[in-house]
Each structure stands twice: as C-alpha cells, then as structure tokens.
C-alpha cells in the first residue's frame, strides 16, 4: 500500500469499488446519498470542482505528497479507446509519484480554448436539458481574471479538461488556503452551474496549480 498517494473521488451514483485496486489510500465524497457511512457526504452542487476545493480547504495542512483527483467513473476520460484498467491507472499514478511530477492531467487529450471556453459542446442538441448551463458559453476568461488578477491570454492550453489530474501537496500549498476558499465560494454561488462556473474550472486546473506565486494576492473576496 503506497502511503505517499491519496485518491480523492468525486462521486454521484457511480460504482467506485474500483478504487480499492489502486493500492493507495482513497476518500470518496458522495453526492448521491446512497454509498454508506464510509463516504463523506456533500450536497449535490458545483460539479467535481466543489468536491475538490472542499477537500483542499479542509485538508490543506495534511494533504498527501501526491493527491489524485478523480471523477466517480474516470475511465472513459483516460483513454479514447477504453483500454485503461484499474491496474493501468495504478501504474500511471505510481509513475507520477516516483518521478516527482508536481502536476499531471490524466485525460487522453489536451484542449486549446479561448476566453469563452470555445470550442465546447454545450450547445449540442442531444445534450439539451442535461444541465442548466446548456447553450451558454463557458466563462473561462472571466474566472481566470477573477482568480489571478491578470488578463487571460487570447488562448490557453487545458491540460486537465476532464477534471481528472494529479497534483502534489507542495504545489497546492504554493497558493494560500484563502485562495481555495475563494474558489469554493465562487462554486457555491453557482450551485447548479447555470453560469457554467464548474465547466470553467475544468479548463483552469493547470493554471490553478502552476506554482506561479506572483499571481497570489493578499486578499480574496
């Protein structure tokens, strides 16, 4: 059992029994209300970003050397051909830990987007009604500038576009706890993701954890 890796799972109603095969500690935050006493219950708001920021704020001083943030069923996002098994994921996480990588997105693809999150699929007719923010752009530029106080470039590269990634505790703590509490408040202000705040965070994880302390501020409000 690896004691330098901890997996944080944002679960709704997925079967997360696969987590026991990762060979490391894991914690499940449950928004489905049907997992049992071993899970940590949360209200079903704010997509996975709400779960991740809740964990970071609460565990800031005791974060693992490597923290792995995963959705309840991440495997479709890890390989475009569906070949990723629990064993493959376990080896990948161990490789990240052994190499001391401060951040790594786990999606099989990267994505370039502009300040409106384009390209995106939030206007696909087949997805209409799946979430309140359907049909709207993603406020990536607005959120970027609120978080960091600097203009967003015309285009950014998203290295964790599916919300599955690894980041060291040391890298997380290059930003103060108050920063993550501020992120959590922004998510809570858009609980049903009507403004696509949660979608915007999916495009910004690598910037949140880029270690650029020049972007830190004295106050977050």
Residue 83 vs residue 169, higher pLDDT: 169
- What number of other Cβ atoms are within 10 A of residue 132's Cβ? 14
Mean pLDDT over 9-25 rounds to 96
Question: What pLDDT, on a 0 to 100 scale, did the predictor assign at position 84?
Answer: 85
Question: What pLDDT, on a 0 to 100 scale, did the predictor assign at position 36?
Answer: 81
**To which H or E segment does residue 93 belong?**
helix 86-99
Identify the three-state secondary structure at position 205. Answer: helix
Q: In DSSP terms, which residues pair with 166 in a beta bridge?
A: 68, 104
Question: What pLDDT, on a 0 to 100 scale, did the predictor assign at position 155?
Answer: 97
Residue with tokens 């475009």: 80
Of the pLDDT bands very low, low, confident and very high (cuts 50, 70, 90), residue 103 is very high
Question: What pLDDT, on a 0 to 100 scale, did the predictor assign at position 99?
Answer: 98
Query: How many CA atoms are closer than 13 Å to the CA of 28, on its beta-carbon side?
Result: 22
Tell me if 128 sits within 8 A of 135, measured CB to CB: yes
b (16+ CB within 10 A) / e for 66-77 = bbbbbbbebbeb
Minimum mean pLDDT range among 79-83, 165-169, 194-198 = 79-83
Q: What share of the chain is helix, strand, coil (3-state, %, to 5)?
A: 35, 15, 45
Mean pLDDT over 11-30 rounds to 97
Question: What pLDDT, on a 0 to 100 scale, did the predictor assign at position 35?
Answer: 85
Decide if pLDDT at 81 tops 90. no
Of the pLDDT bands very low, low, confident and very high (cuts 50, 70, 90), residue 78 is confident
Average pLDDT, the chain: 95
What CA–CA distance (Å, rounded) separates 53 from 59?
10
Tell me if 38 sits within 8 A of 28, measured CB to CB: yes
Decide if pLDDT at 1 tops 90. no
Tens digit of each residue's pLDDT (9 = 90 or more) over 25-42: 999 999 999 988 889 999
Decide if pLDDT at 82 tops 80. no
Write down the pTM of the prediction: 0.96
Tell me if 94 sits within 8 A of 115, measured CB to CB: no
Residue 131 vs residue 16, higher pLDDT: 16
Mean pLDDT over 75-86 rounds to 84
- CA dihedral 196→200→205→208, nearest 10 degrees, is -110
Of the pLDDT bands very low, low, confident and very high (cuts 50, 70, 90), residue 130 is confident
Tens digit of each residue's pLDDT (9 = 90 or more) over 135-162: 999 999 999 999 999 999 999 999 999 9
Tell me if 180 sits within 8 A of 56, measured CB to CB: yes
């Amino acid at each position: 059992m690896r004691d330098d890796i901890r997996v944080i799972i944002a679960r709704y109603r997925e079967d997360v029994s696969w987590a026991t095969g990762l060979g490391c500690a894991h914690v499940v935050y449950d928004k489905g209300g049907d997992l049992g006493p071993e899970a940590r219950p949360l209200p079903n708001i704010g997509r996975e970003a709400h779960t991740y920021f809740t964990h970071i704020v609460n565990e800031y001083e005791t974060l693992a050397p490597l923290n792995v943030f995963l959705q309840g069923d991440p495997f479709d996002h890890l390989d475009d051909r569906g070949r990723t098994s629990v064993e493959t994921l376990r080896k990948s996480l161990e490789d990240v830990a052994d190499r001391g990588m401060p951040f790594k997105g786990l999606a099989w693809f990267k994505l370039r987007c502009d300040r409106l999150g384009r390209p995106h699929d939030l206007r696909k007719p087949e997805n209409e009604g799946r979430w309140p923010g359907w049909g709207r752009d993603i406020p990536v530029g607005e959120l970027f500038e609120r978080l960091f106080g600097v203009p967003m470039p015309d285009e950014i590269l998203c290295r964790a576009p599916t919300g599955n990634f690894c980041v060291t505790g040391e890298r997380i703590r290059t930003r103060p706890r108050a920063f993550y509490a501020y992120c959590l408040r922004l998510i809570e202000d858009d609980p049903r993701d009507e403004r696509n705040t949660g979608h915007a965070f999916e495009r910004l994880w690598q910037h949140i954890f880029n270690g650029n302390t020049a972007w830190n501020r004295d106050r977050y409000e």
